[in-house]
Amino acid sequence: MIIAEVLSQDSLEVALVHHDHMIEALSTNASATSMYRKLGFRIDGTLRDEIRRGDRFEDVVCLSILADEWADAESGAEADLAARGLL
């Protein structure tokens, strides 16, 4: 899965759970959240003060995509990469 490979390199966690795919990103990582949303993920919510980094806490954004949406996004991503000559 091309999308899973790309996401796992730049994300905190990718978890495949039954009928949906979930991913988490730090709320301060706007570029990752934006990329996931462009791939079809929807924001489910925010885990407030979920991660402690030094003397401060950071929020984590939870996103998900349903299995049929994932299949559409994956085939669209593959077509886009092929059109760019990257596959």
| Residue 78 confidence (pLDDT) above 80 | no
Give the per-residue pLDDT at 72. 80
Choosing among 3.40.630.30, 2.60.40.1180, 3.40.50.360, 3.40.1410.10, the CATH entry for 2-81 is 3.40.630.30
Predicted pLDDT of residue 18: 58
pLDDT at 27: 95
Q: pLDDT per residue over 20-74, tens digit each? A: 888 999 999 999 999 999 888 999 999 999 999 999 999 999 999 998 888 787 7
Stated pTM of the model: 0.66
Where in the chain are the domains? 2-81
Checking if the pLDDT of 81 tops 80, the result is no
Pick the more confident residue, 10 or 42.
42
**HEC profile of the chain:** CHHHHHHHHHCCEEEEECCEEEEEEECCCHHHHHHHHHCCCEEEEEEEEEEEECCEEEEEEEEEEEHHHHHHHHHHHHHHHHHCCCC
State the average pLDDT over residues 6-17.
Answer: 45
